[in-house]
Structure 1
Amino acid sequence: MAVHEGKRKLDSIPVGKLGVIPLEGCRDLAGKVDKFLVDWRTERENEHKNSLAFAGYQRDSYMIKASIARFGTGEAKGTINESIRGMDLFLLCDICNHSMTYKMCGRENHMSPDDHYQDLKRIIAAVGGKARRITVIMPFLYEGRQHKRSSRESLDCAIALQELVSMGVDNIITFDAHDARVQNSIPLHGFETIQPAYQFMKGLLNNVNDLQIDSEHMMVISPDEGGMKRAIYLANVLGLDMGMFYKRRDYTQVVDGKNPIVAHEFLGSSVEGKDVLVIDDMISSGESVLDVARELKARKAKRIFIMATFGLFTNGLEEFDEAYNNGTITRVLTTNCIYQSPELLEREYYVSCDMSKYIAFIIDTLNHDSSISDLLNPNNRIQALVNRYRNGEME
């Protein structure tokens, strides 16, 4: 059993019989999570596991059978195909899985985030208030970038969160929320935003064997002012200097719903000869982060490693291929919290950071109503990982 698994105290009675309901676009990730849960609970010794309070604690799978049926008009209904009465339910939803399709009036439609979110509500509605507790794990927070109002516009993220809790959701867990202050819309309910800093470092150190992790040879960069917090955290944990770019925008025009970026201006010490970790919450089109990489190369940075929780790559991979081939970037790391295309996984420069074990830890711990504070702060785990790397003890 893993060291971290052994350290957790899970002697308390579970909130309810555990159930995991993955929406269709999240089944691969949920399958990995389920395997961890089954293995841990099979191996775990607990003197009370045969008591009534621990009924159904050890099972072959914790996945609950649920489905979404589509009608010819594109309308749908959610169905849960087994009893969930009194269960502690965890719903997993990937709103970014654009590979999913459905038929509408004979035509094939790709599912949008709106479609995935609507399906999530259908499954919650199908629960019908019979579960003991509902936790939604939505790695990419629906409408997370529409978290504030700068003109007469909708506040979609806040409305979505309020909708979910009004339907009976108790807790919402997301990863690297664009702005965690959106939780103010549901102040009396659980909302956790989790940073994958440990998984980034694990992915990097497992794939690059000649890094010198000190302030003389490495630096952490935030590509914009909004991402400074995560960059400052990683720099402090690793003992590195931190720099940032800020975006100079043209506020006289709007292109594709946003003010175009005129230039990236750099604030920080010299990056010359240093490996650079560029960390952000997401890669959307990739235009911004590649501009930052080019600016860093112009300032004579050695190697550039791009880390982003979500790799959307909405404009394809061609520009990243070109940047890799001409030496601008060395690696791109994103998590498997959202859909990854087969083309992305084939890229030589791409590193996928697996979050399934981390999500399984969270589910297992919350089901016992235990604290997840140690899971939310990966400082000690990162330090131990770096020490193993320096000692040549990586797996």
Structure 2
Amino acid sequence: MPATDPKLISGNANRKLADAIARRMSMHRGMQVGLVDARVERFNDQEIFVEVYENVRGEDMFIIQPTSKPANDNLMELLIMADALRRSSASRITAVIPYFGYARQDRRTKARTPISAKLVSNLIAEGGIERVLTMDLHAAQIQGFFDIPVDNLYASPIFALDILHQFGGDMSDVMVVSPDVGGVARARELAQRIGAPLAIVDKRREKAGEVAEMTVIGDVTEKKCVIVDDICDTAGTLCKAADVLLGAGATEVHAYTTHGVLSGPAVDRITNSVLKSLVITDTIEATPEVAACKNIRICPTAPMFAQAILNIWNGTSVSSLFDTDTLIPIYEGLYPNGMYGR
């Protein structure tokens, strides 16, 4: 066991998730784990100021800060907190970034465009952060942008437990659907976990943000379709895919998305769509509109992040959390009657 306890500190991006992670770690350890007392504030000109009130010399520090909207402010909070801890002689600084912003800019799609994900990874590494813990990076190659260890957790094991519970373990008429060709690997992995077949919605775009045409690859007749994706932003593609699936003979459509960005008209679109439910995680703090939406449900990630932090602190395997048998005890009690489709 390490000589020091893990210590958590949170920015302003998702304080609810940070508190939930601290509570779960307290349960796992049998002792109180709280957030380090600090203030992360802004001057009148919106410059960010951080002050840590506790001694962190020689401590193993974990900064919990997704870089969601406003992405630039939350990223700067993360970097400035890391600088404050580094200058306070923390022994190791791990950035827990449940949602990694700028991940959609992971390659040059046309001339004279940036690779912003690489730039952000450089900023994080140069800022004194020695390790990153995140969930469902938009592109797997982003791990290679870092010259420090990156642990990328997956929401699919959590989604598999939830699907098995919601459908009572009967997967005979359930079909997993990828909303585009690029997400097939993610959808296939979930389909294998729950023992369901796979279909694909092929989409063609005239320009960014607008889908011109969609076709279904696979037979979804009389199927309960589960669309799985990593990010839901304006929900235009998701809602149109649900319409196309129902038109192709599906009986109902559900969606599971890791990061609920849900910007602009997203909540209204989902409320008025044919989607029976949209399940997101709490990697991004839900707005009041998202929390009040009748067909949006939020799946907790705090149990998985808490265990991953403890595993990093202990020097044990993080990839063990990808196994269902490992995850079930961590999520015990969140599903009534122990229903996991078994």
Contact kept? 1:18, 1:62, Cα under 8 Å: no
**Alignment equivalent of 1:116, drawn from 58, 74, 89:** 74
1:34 aligns with 2:18: no
The separation in 2 between residues aligned to 1:179 and 1:394, in whole angstroms, is: 32
Conserved in 1, the CA contact under 8 Å of 2:164 and 2:170? Answer: no
- Say whether residues 1:249 and 2:205 are aligned partners: yes
- Alignment partner of 1:358 out of 296, 299, 304: 304
2:143 partner SS? helix
Residues 248, 265 of structure 1: 8 Å contact kept: no
Q: How does 1:352-391 map to 2 (within 5 A)?
A: 352-375=298-321, 377-380=322-325
CA RMSD of aligned residues (A): 2.1
- 1:274 aligned to 223, 235, 240, which one? 223
Separation (CA, whole Å) in 1 of partners of 2:268 and 2:209: 24
Gaps of 5+ in 2: 331-336
- The counterpart of 1:202, out of the listed 132, 154, 161, is 161
Q: Distance in 2 between matches of 1:292 and 1:79?
A: 47
Q: Tell me: CA distance 1:382–1:372, structure 2 relative to 1, closer, same or farther (3 Å).
A: closer
1:228 matched to 2:184? The reply is: yes
> Match for 2:113 among 139, 153, 163?
153
C-alpha contact 2:151 2:318 (8 A) present in aligned 1: no
Alignment gaps of 5+ in structure 1: 1-12, 43-57, 99-111, 386-391
The 3-state SS of whatever aligns with 1:317 is: helix
Residues 18, 64 of structure 2: 8 Å contact kept: yes
Distance change >3 Å, CA 220–CA 381, structure 1 → 2: farther
Matches of 2:118 and 2:3, distance apart in 1: 28
CA distance in structure 2 between the partners assigned to 1:201 and 1:347 by the alignment: 23
**Cα 1:298/1:384, change in 2 over 3 Å:** farther
Aligned-partner residue type, residue 35 of structure 1: R
Aligned residues: 331
What's the CA shift for 1:62?
3.3
Instruction: Report how far residue 173 of structure 1 moved.
Output: 1.4
Higher radius of gyration, 1 or 2: 1
Match of 2:43 among 71, 83, 87: 71
CA contact (8 A) 2:233 2:266 kept: no
Residue among 213, 219, 227 paired with 1:263:
213
**Counterpart contact for 1:223–1:278, Cα < 8 Å:** yes
Equivalent position of 1:103 in the other structure: none
Letter in 1 for 2:72: D
Out of 56, 81, 84, the residue aligned to residue 84 of structure 1 is 56
Which TM-score applies when normalising by structure 2?
0.90
Shift of 1:362: 0.5
Tell which deviates more after alignment, 331-340 or 66-75. 66-75
Cα-to-partner distance string for 1:257-277 (whole Å, 9 max, x where unaligned):
x26321112222x11111111
Aligned residue number for residue 7 of structure 2: 19
Report how far residue 128 of structure 1 moved.
Answer: 2.6
- Alignment-derived partner of residue 333 in structure 2: none
Distance in 2 between the 1:154 and 1:169 partners?
23
Contact preservation (8 Å) 1:37, 1:364: yes
Moved more, 78-87 or 340-349: 340-349
Q: Which residue of 2 aligns with 1:312?
A: 261
Answer whether contact 1:15 1:367 (CA < 8 A) is retained. Answer: no
Change in CA separation of 1:85 and 1:334 when aligned onto 2, cut-off 3 Å: same
Matches within 5 A, 1:83-232: 83-96=55-68, 98=69, 112-129=70-87, 130-150=89-109, 151-186=111-146, 188-206=147-165, 208-209=166-167, 212-214=170-172, 217-232=173-188
Paired residue type of 2:233? S
Identity %, equivalent residues: 21
- Give the match's secondary structure for 2:13: helix
- Letter of the 2:66 partner, please give it: D
Shift of 1:202: 3.1
Report the alpha carbon displacement of residue 39 of structure 1 after superposing the two structures with TM. Answer: 2.3
Cα distance in 2 for partners of 1:95, 1:349 equals 26
Whether the 8 Å CA contact 1:144–1:177 is kept in 2: the answer is yes
Between the aligned partners of 2:127 and 2:99, the Cα distance in structure 1 is: 20
Which AA in structure 2 matches 1:288?
A: T
In structure 2, give the amino acid aligned to 1:333.
V
2:273 is the alignment partner of 1:330: no
Counterpart residue identity of residue 308, structure 2: I
Structure 1 residue 212, shift from structure 2 partner: 2.4
Q: What's the CA shift string for 1:157-213, capped at 9, x where partnerless?
A: 111111111222111111111102022222x4111221111222333444x355621
Corresponding position of 1:349: 295
CA spacing shift, 1:209–1:179, aligned 2, 3 Å:
closer
1:246–1:316: structure 2 CA closer, same or farther, 3 Å change rule?
Answer: closer
- Alignment CA distance shift 1:384-1:37 (3 Å): closer
